[in-house]
């Protein structure tokens, strides 16, 4: 598949550039503090689904514009929470609504490439839960204010963050953050382990993240990455079953070109040139039960 | 429901005071170092079940008396572990006993309000596992000695701590603490993340915790709290299912008064006045399988 | 059962010495940087299965020779990953292979005694995932280089590390380590919580670990340890079920001699003398579903 022209996708809330295997996603509604609106959802879902299937994209890196007043100021609350619900939802009842934060979370989560985020400004609510938690690797500016205001607004944590944050950091930190409705900075002990790298100067966050992104795009195998992510998130809750699963993973990968290239390059003390694409895994992945999330109408 | 008169409940091991939506539970057997005895179990189970249903209680904060020689010195061992078992248990066999630490843990765990603990003195065994781990937010005095002596006494960790500690801190720290039978202080790297706040002076622990408790009682929604806690502890092991679940949570909450008040207060830059009570969620919660823990007799 | 003569087991990659209830396992292929070879697998599986059943062994401590250039330099890659597969595997297809790292992981993981490791030199890949992660308690030299190179070699993390590392440290750190293919030292924030103790001088690592090992061999109950480990790793995903389970654990242990001795020694302020062996638990353990991992041939 040839690479996509990301300038022709009709994105209005983001810009996408490709730089040596890295898809750079820039939130571009700085004037509105990148609040989370309908266009954000549509654009991110579309973009990450493309990245997932575009073999020219090996790493995705999201960030905000350098001079934006915020990375993402959260949901647009001027119309209240009720504006979340379409007339259709109102009619179909409690089980028909699908949280837009979670739709974004799942789009990023499903992407089989390495997903990174460079948080170079303040972030509130879904600006953390939907845009940061589903990523694999997070960079942040030390001065970023991060707010988890849910219980102080009469609402519960969304965007599948009640799934992700406990698994990322453990339940003790997750409950402290969710139930106090805290505003913290990335070096808070309550966030320990969430950010791969925290940088003192705002302007250094994106370049540092991009440098790692380019290293990973050049030196990691896409198939190895796709399998590694799935082993962590879609593994079994029993060590023996996981042993059987990862044995098969190694068997499948070792018969591909990338494993051979990886070992050969290592022996020859040169950088590897990986060429396998995730599509080659499709006979085996997904091995897990896929749960449909699109709601069905109860009424004709 | 009118608030309960907590002075008339016959408590002998604790005192309960209500202060602006905060139920303050003070362990009051300081002369016996607040050892964990039958009255402790009965009192805490009764108190936390009342707090759960009393709409005037928004936050629960447990502590010991300021001058107590210990927060809780653990189980009373003078009669050995055998004294744990009633004649009935002896007759009914291995599966009839229910650990009293776990009975306390479950009472605190089931409470849908924010549960806090201000650990202002030393704590041993069930003084950690039964009284601290099931709480949502923990404060501690930096000089507190915390002992996990189980394997050095010929016994295993109780009070469902083998469930809670791994989920709170991860298995690496949990196993180090359980298998070394360690005595540590709250700032030990082995406990990293367990305490929300650690304070150098003993006398500052309760006031600091109470200040947060009052803030939370005033500024958080009880329904949002109840749902948030349940999403973390009773969620699904699959992100798509959690997305469907939290979508419904948001839909249910957003149609209540607190979500509207939260958004409105935020837009008006004033503190919210929340009034929804957890009872309003009963058509939907619990959504999880409830497991009965009361043993059944095998013999007539 | 009398203690085994560990000098007569034909080990070629390890030496085993017993010192006051501690089985000391020394990786002894220093000239080959203790690379992970067939003999490593056979020796460790045999040794840890013996330790599991030898009532004279209460704690197992693995280390490398003091002057070894590495603790374990990982898999032997000179023949590529393809050399992992026997002709039999090639014939039987994707599901027949069993990863040798995972075979070692499971052998250590199954051992009901306290398992420790003193990492006194560099470790790569399976030298971490197979030799360190399944242990209960890890000591390390601060100067140790630890490499997780999988995705940079075209392969996924093996040895059930995609099960263990997330449960030990949480998914945020695990994904950062796995997907960046990082080389880090034990004090990296990405490893926070993995090592019980980190020591600045290489020569101090083994003595410090041995001192704790001897303390634990002398002062902990083998049955209490076996049950504690199983409660953490083989517990239930529901707190009420875990309460029923640990209640039974306490009932079973409290009727054994070690619990009585533990309480008595504590009251008499003397060290305990524990004598119960894990075999006494066999009517009750394992309580969990045991998953067979030996592959079955599809063809006659």
What are the pLDDT digits (tens) for A163-221? 999 999 999 999 999 999 999 999 999 999 999 999 999 999 999 999 999 999 999 99
Q: What is the pLDDT of residue C2?
A: 53
Determine the Cα–Cα distance for residues C233 and A238; give it in Å rounded to an integer: 9
Determine the Cα–Cα distance for residues B107 and B113; give it in Å rounded to an integer: 12
Tell me what the mean pLDDT of segment C280-287 comes to.
93
Classify the phi-psi angles of A23: left when phi > 0, otherwise alpha if psi is within -120 to 50, otherwise beta.
Answer: beta
Q: Structurally, what CATH architecture does the domain formed by C222-281 represent?
A: Orthogonal Bundle (1.10)
C18 touching chain B per CB within 8 A: no
B219 touching chain A per CB within 8 A: yes
CA nearest to C279, candidates C54, C102, C72: C54
CA nearest to A118, candidates A50, A190, A54, A213: A213
CB A81 within 8 A of CB B260: yes
Q: What is the pLDDT of residue C1?
A: 47
Q: How does A57-81 read in b/e, with b if 16+ C-beta sit within 10 Å?
A: bbbbbbbbbeebebbbbbbebeebb
Determine the Cα–Cα distance for residues C140 and C206; give it in Å rounded to an integer: 9
Determine the Cα–Cα distance for residues A104 and A48; give it in Å rounded to an integer: 9
ipTM of the complex: 0.96
Structure-derived torsion over alpha carbons of residues C163, C167, C170, C175, reported in degrees to the nearest 10: -10
Measured between CB atoms, which of A212, A219, A263 is closest to C81? A263
Which residue of chain A comes nearest to B268, CA vs CA? A78
Tell me what the mean pLDDT of segment C178-184 comes to.
97
CB B186 within 8 A of CB B204: no
Determine the Cα–Cα distance for residues B73 and B36; give it in Å rounded to an integer: 7
Q: How are beta strands A59-64 and A14-19 bridged, if at all? A: unpaired
Peptide bond preceding C102 in cis form (omega within 30 of 0): no
DSSP B3: P
Determine the Cα–Cα distance for residues A167 and A235; give it in Å rounded to an integer: 13
Q: For chain C, which chains pass the contact test of at least 3 CB pairs under 8 Å? A: A, B
Residue C300 has pLDDT above 70, yes or no: no
Residue B2 has pLDDT above 60, yes or no: no
Residue ranges per domain, chain C?
6-218, 222-281
Q: Is B89 exposed, middle or buried (0-12, 13-18, 19+ CB in 10 A)?
A: middle
Residue A72 has pLDDT above 90, yes or no: yes
Question: What digits encode the pLDDT tens for the residues A259-281?
Answer: 999 999 999 999 999 999 999 99
A187 touching chain C per CB within 8 A: no
Beta-carbon separation of B216 and A180 below 8 A: yes
B160 to chain C: which residues are within 8 Å by CB? 239, 242-243, 246
Residue with tokens 């009619």: A91
3-state secondary structure of A195: coil
CB A175 within 8 A of CB A156: no
Question: What digits encode the pLDDT tens for the residues B123-169?
Answer: 999 999 999 999 999 999 999 999 999 999 999 999 999 999 999 99
Tell me what the mean pLDDT of segment C64-81 comes to.
90
Residue B177 has pLDDT above 70, yes or no: yes
CA nearest to C137, candidates A169, B190, B187: B190
CB B238 within 8 A of CB A293: no
Residues 6+ apart with CB under 8 A from A253: A221, A223, A224, A227, A259, C81, C154, C155, C156
C103 to chain A: which residues are within 8 Å by CB? 243
C255 touching chain B per CB within 8 A: yes
**Model confidence band, residue A2 (pLDDT cutoffs 50, 70, 90):** low
Q: For chain B, which chains pass the contact test of at least 3 CB pairs under 8 Å? A: A, C
Rounded to 5 degrees, φ, ψ at A188 are -60, 135
Interface mutation target, options A45, A95, A107, A154, chain B, most CBs of B under 10 Å: A154
- CA-derived radius of gyration, chain B: 20
Residues 6+ apart with CB under 8 A from A300: none
Question: What digits encode the pLDDT tens for the residues B263-284?
Answer: 999 999 999 999 999 999 988 9
Classify the phi-psi angles of A147: left when phi > 0, otherwise alpha if psi is within -120 to 50, otherwise beta.
Answer: beta
Fold of C6-218: 2-enoyl-CoA Hydratase; Chain A, domain 1 (3.90.226)
Residues 6+ apart with CB under 8 A from A119: A63, A64, A71, A132, A138, A139, A140, A141, A144, A186, A195, A205
CB A52 within 8 A of CB A106: no
Beta-carbon separation of B239 and A163 below 8 A: yes
Determine the Cα–Cα distance for residues C41 and B253; give it in Å rounded to an integer: 55
Residue B1 has pLDDT above 50, yes or no: no
Measured between CB atoms, which of C136, C235, C240 is closest to B291? C240
Q: Which residues pair with B18 in a beta bridge?
A: B23
Q: pLDDT over 90 for what percent of chain A?
A: 87
Q: Structurally, what CATH architecture does the domain formed by B221-281 represent?
A: Orthogonal Bundle (1.10)
Beta-carbon separation of C228 and B151 below 8 A: yes
Beta-carbon separation of A156 and B224 below 8 A: yes
CA nearest to C40, candidates C100, C97, C111, C118: C100
B266 touching chain C per CB within 8 A: no
Distance from first CA to last CA of chain C, Å, rounded? 40
Question: What digits encode the pLDDT tens for the residues C231-242?
Answer: 999 999 999 999
Beta-carbon separation of A293 and B251 below 8 A: no
Distances (CA, A) of A10 to A13, A47, A228: 9, 10, 33
What counts of helices (H) and strands (E) characterise chain C? Answer: 10, 9
């Amino acid at each position: 598949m040839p690479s996509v022209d990301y300038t022709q996708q009709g994105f209005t809330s983001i810009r996408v550039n490709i730089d040596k295997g890295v898809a750079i996603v820039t939130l571009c509604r700085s004037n509105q503090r990148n609040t989370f609106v309908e266009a954000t959802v549509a654009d991110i879902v579309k973009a990450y689904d493309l990245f997932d299937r575009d073999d020219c994209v090996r790493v995705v890196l999201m960030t905000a514009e350098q001079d934006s007043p915020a990375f993402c100021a959260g949901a647009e609350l001027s119309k209240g929470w009720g504006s979340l619900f379409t007339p259709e939802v109102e009619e179909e009842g409690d089980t028909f609504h699908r949280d837009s934060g979670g739709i974004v979370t799942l789009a990023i989560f499903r992407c089989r490439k390495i997903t990174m985020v460079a948080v170079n400004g303040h972030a509130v609510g879904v600006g953390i839960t939907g845009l940061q938690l589903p990523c694999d690797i997070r960079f942040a500016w030390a001065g970023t204010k991060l707010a988890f205001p849910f219980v102080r607004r009469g609402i519960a944590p969304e965007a599948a963050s009640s799934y992700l944050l406990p698994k990322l950091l453990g339940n003790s930190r997750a409950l402290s953050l969710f139930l106090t409705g805290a505003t913290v900075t990335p070096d808070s002990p309550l966030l320990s382990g969430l950010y791969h790298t925290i940088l003192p100067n705002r302007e250094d966050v994106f370049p540092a993240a991009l440098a790692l992104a380019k290293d990973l795009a050049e030196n990691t195998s896409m198939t190895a990455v796709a399998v590694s992510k799935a082993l962590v998130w879609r593994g079994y809750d029993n060590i023996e079953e996981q042993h059987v699963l990862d044995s098969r993973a190694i068997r499948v990968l070792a018969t591909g070109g990338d494993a051979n290239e990886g070992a050969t390059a290592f022996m020859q003390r040169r950088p590897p040139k990986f060429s396998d694409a995730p599509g080659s895994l499709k006979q085996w992945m997904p091995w897990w039960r896929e749960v449909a999330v699109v709601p069905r109408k109860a009424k004709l």
